[in-house]
């Protein structure tokens, strides 16, 4: 199995962590919209990469 897949899964999990990080009542509260957007983009991009690699693997002939 390709070890890059585990890296992509870790990136998806870190994206979910960025979406859910509680920044209220901290000095980083102004960055909350930024971390949410970056988290959503991370999850979307790496999920699409995993779907693409999975579909490509299904249609390769060996």
- The per-residue pLDDT for range 29-47, each reduced to its tens digit, is 999 999 999 999 999 999 9
Q: How many domains does the chain have?
A: 1
Encode pLDDT of 1-19 as tens digits. Answer: 678 889 999 999 999 999 9
The owner of tokens 């983009």 is 41
Going by C-beta distance under 8 Å and a sequence separation of 6 or more, which residues neighbour residue 1? none
pLDDT of residue 1: 61
**Domain carrying residue 15:** 4-58
The mean of the pLDDT values for the chain is 91
Encode pLDDT of 16-28 as tens digits. Answer: 999 999 989 999 9
Whole-prediction pTM: 0.84
Alpha carbon distance 23, 49 (integer Å):
29
């Amino acid at each position: 199995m390709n070890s890059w897949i585990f890296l992509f899964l870790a990136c998806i999990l870190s994206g979910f962590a960025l979406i859910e990080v509680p920044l209220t009542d901290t000095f980083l509260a102004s960055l909350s919209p930024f971390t949410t957007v970056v988290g959503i983009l991370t999850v979307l991009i790496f999920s699409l990469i995993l779907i693409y690699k999975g579909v490509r693997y299904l249609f390769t002939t060996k």
